[in-house]
Amino acid sequence: MMEEKELRALVSLLSDEDEEVLSHVEQKIISLGDPVIPYLESEWESNFNPYVQKRIEDLIHHLQYSVLEKKLRAWKEGGAEDLLEGLWLIATYQYPDLEYSKLRKEMEQIYYETWLEMKNDIHPFDQIRILNDVLFGKLKFSANTKNFHAPNNSMLNIVLESHKGNPISLCAVYMLVAQRLKLPVYGVNLPNLFVLTYKSRELQFYINAFNRGLIFYKSDIDNYISHLNLAKMDLFYEPCSNLDIIRRMLRNLIISFEKLGEKEKMEEIKRLVDVITDESDVNY
């Protein structure tokens, strides 16, 4: 790591109008990696040149994005076992200072609220109804139908703050709480709609978290697939992986940024999808 004096001299060159010099300086700063981010943030605060500030902002974003790519790749290669970690990583795209521990603490509080009401010796339907009562009644989680395509619907920290989300973010919250309660609830990758399934050895049914936890059945999925003129596939009925959930959330983000006309963000999210997608993967 450079001495602070050298860093200051390097940042001062960001005001240079020579594109070749500017490119060299930016590459040098990028080569220092994410440890230089706090210093750049400090320089941004003390610099009153809007052009230099914009260049510093771009450098900080570039460095933070590189960190996100590496963490997301490591999450996938590590088995993608912690869904909450994957959701946290997505949220850091927009909120790079967000801490994993904050989300974990908030999810633990939601779990506690449901645990207080839950009974283990009752039918699974009744367990799901209790979970619905807490999440959609007491805590007032609901579908964000007014701003369905807003990027924040894919940011778990905002979903937990506003208690509003899209189908997959509400399903993710629901699933994390249900599994913490040791209920066999998993995501299901339906076309155009993400839902949940309760699947044990004895029983399987489905849950629509976007519709206040409505319970439905395989025959309803049959009808849904038929209306879409699609052939039946196992993935429309069976649990999907955490990796599938994160990929689908990222694809939702691409659509969100496309509708906002933010092409650079679209391309960045597409690259994140590529980081965790193999050629054999099939997603809807």
Per-residue model confidence as pLDDT tens digits over 196-211: 999 999 999 999 999 9
Higher pLDDT, 102 or 26: 102
What is the pLDDT at residue 38? 87
What is the pLDDT at residue 1? 52
Confidence grade of residue 233 (pLDDT, cut at 50, 70, 90)? very high
What is the pLDDT at residue 2? 57
| 29 and 102 both lie in a single domain | no
What is the pLDDT at residue 108? 98
Q: What is the pTM of this model?
A: 0.91
Checking if the pLDDT of 279 tops 80, the result is no
Confidence grade of residue 46 (pLDDT, cut at 50, 70, 90)? confident
* Percent composition of the chain: helix, strand, coil (DSSP 3-state, to 5): 65, 10, 25
| 45 and 140 both lie in a single domain | no
| 13 and 140 both lie in a single domain | no
Burial of 30 (0-12, 13-18, 19+ CB in 10 A): middle
Mean of pLDDT values over 216-231: 96
Confidence grade of residue 281 (pLDDT, cut at 50, 70, 90)? low
Which of 77, 110, 126 finishes a domain? 77
Higher pLDDT, 17 or 188: 188
Higher pLDDT, 25 or 97: 97
Checking if the pLDDT of 11 tops 90, the result is no
Mean of pLDDT values over 72-90: 97
Mean of pLDDT values over 238-248: 97
* Residues whose CB falls within 8 Å of the CB of residue 196, separated by 6 or more in sequence, listed in order: 171, 174, 175, 178, 185, 186, 187, 188, 206, 207, 208, 209
| 266 and 233 both lie in a single domain | yes
For residue range 151-174, what is the model confidence (pLDDT) as tens digits? 999 999 999 999 999 999 999 999
**Amino acid letter, residue 108:** E
Which of 77, 101, 130 finishes a domain? 77
Which of 77, 103, 134 finishes a domain? 77
What is the pLDDT at residue 14? 80
| 214 and 197 both lie in a single domain | yes
- Quote the number of domains for the chain: 2
Residue 137 lies in a domain: yes
| Structural domain span for residue 145 | 83-275
- Residue 149 CA, chain-centre distance (Å), reads 14
Checking if the pLDDT of 12 tops 80, the result is no
Confidence grade of residue 263 (pLDDT, cut at 50, 70, 90)? very high
Least reliable range by pLDDT among 5-9, 28-32, 90-94: 5-9
Task: Tell me if 141 sits within 8 A of 164, measured CB to CB.
Answer: yes
Mean of pLDDT values over 186-199: 97
Task: Tell me if 61 sits within 8 A of 93, measured CB to CB.
Answer: no
Burial of 56 (0-12, 13-18, 19+ CB in 10 A): buried
Q: Percent of the chain beyond pLDDT 90?
A: 77
| 186 and 205 both lie in a single domain | yes
| 140 and 174 both lie in a single domain | yes
Other Cβ atoms closer than 10 A to 25? 21
